[in-house]
Amino acid sequence: MKRFQVAIASSKGGVGKSAVSIHVCHALSKKGLKVVLADADSNQSSTYWAERAEQNGHDLGFAVIDGISGNVPSDCDFLWIDTQGNPDLSELGDLSRNMDLVVLPCGVDAGEVTATLKSIQEAKLEVSDYKILLTRVPPRPNKRGETLHNQLEEAGLPVFDLSIQHRICHYDANESGLTLGQMKGRAAKAGAKEYANLADEILKLVEKNHEPG
Ligand SMILES: Nc1ncnc2c1ncn2[C@@H]1O[C@H](COP(=O)(O)OP(=O)(O)OP(=O)(O)O)[C@@H](O)[C@H]1O
Ligand SMILES: [Mg+2]
């Protein structure tokens, strides 16, 4: 079986790359895939998350390796790379050529959207190379996420159907090295469901990209 390779990248830091990485990898590993998360960010937030998980006896279901020097086990089906915020444009271009997909998380803030669109344009990413993921979207009845999603679609930009809502329980998850699905409470469960649906969307997309022809 071919190994799928997906990277997550953003023009700004602190947009939720590591939170998405941990949760999507967890959801993919629950589907029986052998997942490896390569932490290529010098902040190492995914690595520290996994360390906190281990210290607290939580099983994330996948291994986190050092993105730069780590050895990817030969039986890995799905390699996910968490990258450094604000990569230079050639780096982003290289990622788009070498990966099956680049996930670009982006908040609803105008500055974040502008920075994301600018890097897509300047790195000359092809529509089939990447997909924008709206993250930390304010909950309903606020319509900011929905409006932005429609605008991006109307502009012909690839955007995930699913958006990740802003949920306070992320802070506890991060602190304890848990995933939302391992936590109690309705908000955490709803968040976990969102990430599981996102993992489905990603898997369908990379499987399609691999169809011969
Ligand atoms: N959906 C969300 N709702 C609320 N808080 C979130 C959400 N996603 C992430 N966060 C919080 O936002 C902060 C930044 O998230 P995270 O570390 O995942 O971003 P990052 O892009 O990986 O940052 P860096 O560039 O520093 O690596 C963290 O405190 C995290 O817990
Ligand atoms: Mg990070």
Whether residue 9 has its Cβ less than 6 Å from ligand 1 = no
Question: Tell me, what's the pLDDT at 2?
Answer: 81
- Mutate which of 104, 136, 169, 172 to test ligand 1's pocket (most atoms within 8 Å of Cβ)? 136
Whether residue 41 has its Cβ less than 6 Å from ligand 1 = yes
Question: Tell me, what's the pLDDT at 213?
Answer: 52
What percentage of the chain exceeds 70 in pLDDT? 98
Q: Token match 């895939």: residue?
A: 33
In the predicted model, is pLDDT for residue 60 greater than 90? yes
CB atoms within 10 A of CB 86: 14
In the predicted model, is pLDDT for residue 209 greater than 90? no
Residues across the chain:
213
Q: What digits encode the pLDDT tens for the residues 95-149?
A: 999 999 999 999 999 999 999 999 999 999 999 999 999 999 999 999 999 999 9
Computed over every residue of the chain, the mean pLDDT equals 93
pTM assigned to the model: 0.96
In the predicted model, is pLDDT for residue 30 greater than 90? yes
Beta bridge partners of 63: 36
Q: The tokens of 46 are what?
A: 């995914």
Rounded distance from Cα 149 to ligand 1 centre (Å)? 20
d(CA 203, CA 167): 24
Rounded distance from Cα 203 to ligand 2 centre (Å)? 22
In the predicted model, is pLDDT for residue 3 greater than 60? yes
Rounded distance from Cα 213 to ligand 1 centre (Å)? 37
Rounded distance from Cα 169 to ligand 2 centre (Å)? 17
* 8 Å CB contact between 199 and 31: yes
Question: Tell me, what's the pLDDT at 1?
Answer: 64
Question: Tell me, what's the pLDDT at 87?
Answer: 81
Q: Which residues have beta carbons under 5 A from ligand 2 (an ion)?
A: 17-18, 41, 45
Whether residue 166 has its Cβ less than 6 Å from ligand 1 = yes
Q: 142 CB contacts (<8 Å, ≥6 apart)? A: none
Whether residue 19 has its Cβ less than 6 Å from ligand 1 = yes
* 8 Å CB contact between 134 and 148: yes
Nearest residue to 23 via CA among 94, 98, 105, 92: 105
Residue 180 DSSP code:
G
